[in-house]
Amino acid sequence: MGMDVFGKAPTSKEGEYFRNNVWWWRPLADICVALAPEICAECEHWQSNDGDGLKESSAMALAAVLDARLADGTVAKLVADRDAWLAALPDEPCDLCQGKGVRSDELAIKNGWDKKPCNACEGKGTVRPWETRYQQDEENVREFANFLKASGGFSIC
Ligand SMILES: [Zn+2]
């Protein structure tokens, strides 16, 4: 699943289209809302593809905030804090093998997978928590800011 973000009146190639899969889009939208809550309030549905978005003046204003926060290190700190928080999350028991490292569900037995290490955790019995799939970096925020500046407003589809 992904988010396709379309420029409403692009002024360059860069402003036509921005795409993130859901693992990248969710933290990106969180950063936008955290750094510019008043501007971002105009868009109600950041986390679904309902065609919601921002008008041109708001997209420009959000780009300006993102550029300023990229320049002063705020975005880098948000990303680093988030990465540190994720890294500190403990492993969780693997659901597929109930933490045993080998699957014993019906489908696994039928396919002979019960003779092999669990395909979800590679036999460790633990997996990284779900939240660690959501990723973000400064470069993605910068690319989104550049899209915003040339988008003429946008819709999330
Ligand atoms: Zn497993």
pLDDT in tens, 12-44: 999 999 999 999 999 999 999 999 999 999 999
User: How high is the pLDDT of residue 131?
Assistant: 94
Contact 112, 105 (CB under 8 A): no
Return the DSSP state at 113: G
Interval between CA 85 and ligand 1 midpoint (Å):
24
Interval between CA 7 and ligand 1 midpoint (Å):
42
Interval between CA 34 and ligand 1 midpoint (Å):
36
Task: Name the 3-class secondary structure at 19.
Answer: strand
Return the DSSP state at 125: S
Interval between CA 93 and ligand 1 midpoint (Å):
8
Mean pLDDT in residue range 1-6: 92
Interval between CA 117 and ligand 1 midpoint (Å):
8
Q: Is the pLDDT of residue 128 over 80?
A: yes
pLDDT in tens, 93-121: 999 999 999 999 999 999 999 999 999 99
Report pTM.
0.88
pLDDT in tens, 42-80: 999 999 989 999 999 999 999 999 999 999 999 999 999
Contact 44, 52 (CB under 8 A): yes
Q: Please tell me the distance from the alpha carbon of residue 63 to that of residue 70, in angstroms, as a whole number.
A: 10
* Helix, strand, coil distribution of the chain in percent, nearest 5: 50, 15, 35
User: How high is the pLDDT of residue 1?
Assistant: 76
User: How high is the pLDDT of residue 35?
Assistant: 98
* Mean pLDDT, all residues of the chain: 97
